[in-house]
């Protein structure tokens, strides 16, 4: 793992961590980049999944809520990554909205 230069997104500076996973581990892709805001919450996760033909994608996590002391993003979506590393606004490839989160 290595920390990359900070990234400016949505008027925030996010810290970035690049991870390289061994081939024996089942993942979206061997190399992935994780983006964290000042509160330490995961806000973006970049990878190039085989199911999208290796096309770079940005997976955003928003609207975090706390349940039983744990923090969960309730809105997640995936969009393509442009050549300059910025996320495209369209097409939205995947949307996940969570409600009624509880921990038992």
Mean residue pLDDT of the chain comes to: 93
Tokens in use for 85?
Answer: 């590393």
Residue pointed to by tokens 């995947």 = 94
**What does the pLDDT read at residue 52?**
72
- CB within 8 Å of 75: residues ≥ 6 apart: 61, 62, 63, 95, 96, 97, 98
**What does the pLDDT read at residue 75?**
98
CB 46 within 8 A of CB 82: no
CA dihedral of 83, 87, 88, 93, whole degrees rounded to 10: 110
pLDDT tens-digit readout, 34-68: 999 999 999 999 999 877 788 899 999 999 999 99
What is the DSSP secondary structure assignment for residue 9, as one 8-state letter?
Answer: E
Mean pLDDT throughout 61-86? 95
Mean pLDDT throughout 4-24? 94
Asked if residue 99 has pLDDT above 80, the reply is yes
Q: pLDDT band at 28, cuts 50/70/90? A: confident
Tell me the β-bridge partners of 12. Answer: 9
Asked if residue 90 has pLDDT above 80, the reply is yes
Q: How many CB atoms lie within 10 A of CB 95?
A: 9
**What does the pLDDT read at residue 4?**
97
Using CA atoms, how far apart are residues 80 and 52, in angstroms rounded to an integer? 10
Using CA atoms, how far apart are residues 59 and 33, in angstroms rounded to an integer? 10
pTM beyond 0.85, yes or no: yes
């Amino acid at each position: 793992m290595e920390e990359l230069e900070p990234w400016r997104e949505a008027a925030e500076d996010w810290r970035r961590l690049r991870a390289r996973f061994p081939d024996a581990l089942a993942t979206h892709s061997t190399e992935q980049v994780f983006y964290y805001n000042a509160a330490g919450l995961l806000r973006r996760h970049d990878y190039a999944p085989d199911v999208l033909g290796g096309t770079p994608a940005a997976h955003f996590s928003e609207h975090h809520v706390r349940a039983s002391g744990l923090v969960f993003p309730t809105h997640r979506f995936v969009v393509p990554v442009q050549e300059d590393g910025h996320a495209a606004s369209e097409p939205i490839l995947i949307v996940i909205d969570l409600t009624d989160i509880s921990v038992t």
